[in-house]
Amino acid sequence: MPTTLRSHRVRTLIEADTIQRRVDELAREIDRDYHDTDGLVAIGVLKGAVIFFSDLVKRLHVPVLVDFFQTSSYGAGTIAGEIRIKRDIDLSIRGRDVLLVEDIVDTGWTVRTILELFRFRGAKSVRLCALLDKHEAREVDVPIDYCGFQIGREFVVGYGLDYGERHRNLPYVGIVDFDEKEPKP
Ligand code: IMP
Ligand code: MG
pLDDT digits (tens, 9 = 90+) for 68-84: 999 987 665 666 668 88
Task: Indicate the pLDDT class of residue 7, thresholds 50, 70 and 90.
Answer: very high
87 Cα to the center of ligand 1, angstroms: 17
Least confident of 79-83, 103-107, 158-162: 79-83
- Residue 56: per-residue pLDDT: 98
Binning pLDDT at 50, 70 and 90, where does residue 91 land?
very high
Confidence band for 38, pLDDT divided at 50, 70 and 90 = confident
> Which of 45, 101, 103, 106 has the most ligand 1 atoms within 8 A of CB, as the residue to mutate?
106
Percent of the chain at pLDDT exceeding 90: 85
Rg (CA), the chain: 17
Spell out the residues 6+ positions from residue 5 whose beta carbon is closer than 8 angstroms to its own.
163, 164, 166
Please tell me the predicted confidence (pLDDT) of residue 75. 60
